[in-house]
C-alpha cells in the first residue's frame, strides 16, 4: 500500500512514519509513506496556495491550481491510487471504511487548510472523509489517523493473522475486556475463565464481554446489528440482573456499581 499525504505542512507528518506499527510496516515493505508539499506546485515567488474568497467573507480559500497539479503529479506515479479529501463535510470515517480503503492499491490523502478548498478541486477527488462532527485547523491529523487505521488492517502488519479480528467495531461490537498480570490488583481479580485454559469458554466469555460493554457504552451500535437468540437472552438476563441490583442498592441507600465488563 502506498500512502501519499498532500499538505502545506509536510513536516507535521514525517515524524509519524518513525513510530510504532507504521514504522514497522514501512520497514517490512507492507507500505510506503510520503508527505508532499503542495507549495512545491505553486509557481509564484511566494509559493501561494491560498487567496481571498470570491463574494467576500472570513478567512482564506485554498487555490485549486497547486492542489490539482500536486494531485496529478502523484496520480502519474500511482495511477490506481484512491484520492481522499479530509473534510468536515465528508462521509464519517469508521472501521468499515478503513477495511474498504485497505483493499485499495494506494491512498492520496489531501489535507485542507484555512476556511476551505476551492470547490472546483473537490470535483477531482474520489471521496471526502470526515473524522467526526468537529473542525480542526487542517487535515493532517486526520490523514495520520487514516494511515494508522488502514495500515494495521493490511496482511502481516500486526503479525498474527487474526490480530485485528477482535478490534472494536470489527464485528459491530466494542472489544471485550482485557486483563494481564497481576492476578490480584487492589482486591480485584482476573475472571477465573481466563485462567482456565479452556479456549472455547474463553471465546464465549470474550463475546459476552464485548456484547455487554457495547450495551453499556455504545447502545447505538446495537441498533443495526442482527442479534442472535443467544445474544438477546444474555442481554435480557444481564439487564434484568442489573435492574435488580440497582433497585436493591437504591433501597439500601448505597451507590450503584460503576464498573462493567
Q: Which of 69, 167, 175, 231 is catalytic?
A: 167
Q: Which residues contact 256 (CB under 8 A, 6 or more apart)?
A: 245, 246, 249, 250
Task: Please state, in angstroms and rounded to a whole number, the distance separating the CA atoms of residues 110 and 150.
Answer: 16
127 flagged as catalytic: no
- Which cell numbers in the block locate residue 201? 469458554
Residue 140 DSSP SS3: helix
128 flagged as catalytic: no
Task: Please state, in angstroms and rounded to a whole number, the distance separating the CA atoms of residues 128 and 96.
Answer: 15
Q: Which of 113, 118, 128, 152 is catalytic?
A: 152
Quick check: 146 and 107 in contact, CB under 8 A?
yes
Q: Which of 104, 115, 171, 175 is catalytic?
A: 115
152 flagged as catalytic: yes
Q: Is the dihedral of CA 193, 194, 196, 198 positive or negative?
A: positive
Task: Please state, in angstroms and rounded to a whole number, the distance separating the CA atoms of residues 1 and 97.
Answer: 16
Q: Which of 64, 88, 104, 148 is catalytic?
A: 88
- SS3 breakdown of the chain: % helix, strand, coil, rounded to 5? 40, 15, 40
229 flagged as catalytic: no
Residue 4 DSSP SS3: strand
Task: Please state, in angstroms and rounded to a whole number, the distance separating the CA atoms of residues 247 and 12.
Answer: 53
Closest CA to 145 of 16, 25, 33: 16
Task: Please state, in angstroms and rounded to a whole number, the distance separating the CA atoms of residues 9 and 179.
Answer: 40
Q: Tell me which DSSP letter residue 1 carries.
A: -
Look up cell 491560498; give the residue: 50
Catalytic residues: 88, 115, 152, 167
Amino acid at each position: 500500500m502506498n500512502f501519499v499525504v498532500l499538505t502545506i505542512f509536510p513536516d507535521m507528518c514525517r515524524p509519524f512514519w518513525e513510530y510504532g506499527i507504521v514504522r514497522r510496516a514501512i520497514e517490512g515493505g507492507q507500505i510506503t509513506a510520503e508527505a508532499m508539499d503542495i507549495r512545491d506546485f505553486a509557481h509564484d515567488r511566494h509559493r501561494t496556495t491560498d487567496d481571498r474568497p470570491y463574494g467576500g467573507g472570513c478567512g482564506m480559500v485554498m487555490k485549486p491550481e497547486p492542489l490539482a497539479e500536486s494531485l496529478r503529479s502523484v496520480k502519474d506515479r500511482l495511477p490506481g491510487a484512491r484520492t481522499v479529501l479530509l473534510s468536515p463535510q465528508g462521509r464519517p470515517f469508521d472501521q468499515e471504511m478503513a477495511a474498504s480503503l485497505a483493499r485499495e492499491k494506494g491512498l492520496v490523502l489531501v489535507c485542507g487548510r484555512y476556511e476551505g478548498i476551492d470547490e472546483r478541486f473537490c470535483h477531482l477527488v474520489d471521496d471526502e472523509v470526515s473524522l467526526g462532527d468537529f473542525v480542526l485547523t487542517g487535515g493532517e491529523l486526520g490523514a495520520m489517523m487514516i494511515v494508522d487505521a488502514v495500515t494495521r488492517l493490511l496482511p502481516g502488519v500486526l503479525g498474527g493473522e487474526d490480530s485485528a479480528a477482535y478490534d472494536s467495531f470489527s464485528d459491530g461490537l466494542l472489544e471485550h475486556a482485557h486483563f494481564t498480570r497481576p492476578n490480584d490488583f487492589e482486591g480485584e481479580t482476573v475472571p477465573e475463565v481466563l485462567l482456565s485454559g479452556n479456549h472455547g469458554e474463553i471465546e464465549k466469555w470474550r463475546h459476552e464481554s464485548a456484547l455487554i460493554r457495547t450495551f453499556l457504552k455504545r447502545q447505538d451500535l446495537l441498533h443495526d446489528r442482527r442479534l442472535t437468540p443467544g445474544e438477546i437472552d444474555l442481554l435480557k438476563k444481564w439487564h434484568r440482573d442489573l435492574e435488580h441490583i440497582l433497585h436493591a442498592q437504591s433501597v439500601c441507600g448505597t451507590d450503584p456499581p460503576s464498573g462493567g465488563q
